[in-house]
Amino acid sequence: MASSEGNKLWGGRFVGNTDPIMEKFNASIAYDQRMWEADIKGSKAYVKALQKAGLVTQNEMEQILTGLDKVFDEWSKGEFKIKPGDEDIHTANERRLKVATDMRLWLRDAINTLKELALQLISTMVERAAVEIEILCPGYTHMQRAQPIRWSHWILSHAVALSRDVERLEDIRKHVNVMPLGRLFLCIYNFKRILYGLLRLNLFNQKYNKNTEFLFWASMCLTHLSKMAEDLILYSTKEFSFITLTDAYSTGSSLMPQKKNADSLELIRSKAGRVFGRCAGFLMTLKGLPSTYNKDLQEDKEAMFDTYDTVHAVLQVATGVISTLMVNQPAMERALSPDMLATDLAYHLVRKGMPFREAHSCAGKAVYIAESKNIHLSQITVEDLQTVSPLFDKDVSSVWDYNRSVEQYSAPGGTARSSVTAQIEHFRTWLQAQKQKP
- Residues 156, 424: Cα–Cα separation, whole Å: 8
Please tell me the class of the 338-407 domain: mainly alpha
Phi and psi (nearest 5°) for 52? -65, -35
Q: Is beta strand 144-150 parallel, antiparallel or unpaired with respect to 243-244? A: unpaired
- HEC profile for 414-426? CCCHHHHHHHHHH
Q: If you count DSSP H runs as helices and E runs as strands, how many of each does the chain have, helices first?
A: 16, 4
What pLDDT was estimated at residue 87? 56
For residue 356, the surrounding DSSP H or E stretch is helix 356-373
Please tell me the class of the 104-179+202-335+430-436 domain: mainly alpha
Enter the DSSP assignment of 239.
T
Q: With beta carbons less than 8 A apart as the criterion, state whether 260 and 250 touch.
A: yes
Averaged pLDDT, groups of 10, the chain, 438 residues long: 44 51 48 65 79 81 80 71 56 49 75 97 98 98 96 98 96 74 42 40 55 94 98 96 93 75 93 96 88 77 90 95 96 97 97 96 96 96 95 95 96 96 98 90
Rama region for 237: left / alpha / beta (φ>0; ψ in -120 to 50; rest): beta
Q: How far is CA 118 from the centre of its chain?
A: 7
Residue type, position 66, single letter? T
Q: With beta carbons less than 8 A apart as the criterion, state whether 377 and 366 touch.
A: yes
Q: With beta carbons less than 8 A apart as the criterion, state whether 134 and 332 touch.
A: no
- Residues 316, 306: Cα–Cα separation, whole Å: 16
What pLDDT was estimated at residue 9? 45
- Residues 96, 210: Cα–Cα separation, whole Å: 29
What pLDDT was estimated at residue 206? 54
- Residues 304, 306: Cα–Cα separation, whole Å: 6
- Residues 194, 201: Cα–Cα separation, whole Å: 12
**327-to-164, 241, 269 alpha-carbon distances in Å:** 26, 9, 21
What pLDDT was estimated at residue 28? 54
- Residues 95, 90: Cα–Cα separation, whole Å: 8
CA atoms within 13 A on the CB side of 183: 17
What pLDDT was estimated at residue 83? 59
CATH topology of domain 11-97: Fumarase C; Chain B, domain 1 (1.10.275)
| DSSP notation for 369-410 | HHHHHT--GGG--HHHHHHH-TT--GGGGGG--HHHHHHT--
The radius of gyration of the chain's CA atoms, rounded to the nearest angstrom, is 30
> Active-site positions?
142, 253
**What are the residue boundaries of the structural domains of the chain, listed by start?**
11-97, 104-179+202-335+430-436, 338-407
